[in-house]
Amino acid sequence: KVWTAFYQAFSHTNRDVRLVMKCRPGSLPPFMDFSYSTDPRLTIWRSDVDRMADVFAIADAFLFPTRCEGYGMPPREAAACGVPTVVTRFSGTADNCDDWAIPLEKFNMVESHMEGCGGLWAITDLDELVWRMQDIYLMNCANDLDTEWNQGRFAQGQSIEMVLVDV
């Protein structure tokens, strides 16, 4: 996933937003650990969970700005749990994403340079990602998320949690 880009986008958002990055133990490379961050709004959630629905239950939004995806099960699961879900309109997450997600339309295609498979990656436009994050925040504060995206339940307070998951 695009951890570094996502963290950069998050650092430009409203101070009332909290970011929870859910990852498997040991899945973040040392240079992307974010342990150095002094931002109290950032939480790295490394522990295993029995049910992903429990992760989605704490989220007010699920952001999945993937470079390339086979099918994109985590964002579809989040959307099925009633969480507003933002995905890159590329690869496996592009299929019918207007029906279940808020698509990111702006991205640049770059060579993946993956040994043995090659191909192209979609690099999400950070300005669009920041805009979507702010849009979700403002709609949550105005309690308009249910109306706008016909999603489930959301927190009523001035602080929301956005979750990025590597599963």
Nearest to 5 by CA among 53, 60, 67, 55: 67
pLDDT tens per residue across all 167 residues of the chain: 566 666 777 776 666 777 887 777 776 666 566 666 777 888 877 778 888 888 888 888 888 888 888 888 889 999 999 899 999 998 888 888 899 899 999 989 888 887 877 788 888 888 888 888 888 888 877 776 554 444 333 322 323 444 545 44
Dmax over CA atoms of the chain, in Å, equals 48
pTM of the model: 0.73
**Token digits for 35?**
């342990």
**Token digits for 131?**
């805009």
**Token digits for 84?**
């507003």
Provide CB contacts within 8 A for 120, sequence distance 6+. 68, 109, 110, 111, 112
**Token digits for 70?**
């086979």
Contact 88, 2 (CB under 8 A): no
- How many C-beta atoms surround the C-beta of residue 13 within 10 A? 18
Looking at residue 124, its amino acid is: T
Cα gap 161→167, rounded to integer Å: 18
Written as one string, the DSSP assignment of 112-155 is ---TTT--EEEEE-HHHHHHHHHHHHHHHHTT-HHHHH------
What radius of gyration, in Å, describes the C-alpha atoms of the chain?
Answer: 15
Nearest to 4 by CA among 114, 166, 118: 166
- How many C-beta atoms surround the C-beta of residue 147 within 10 A? 10
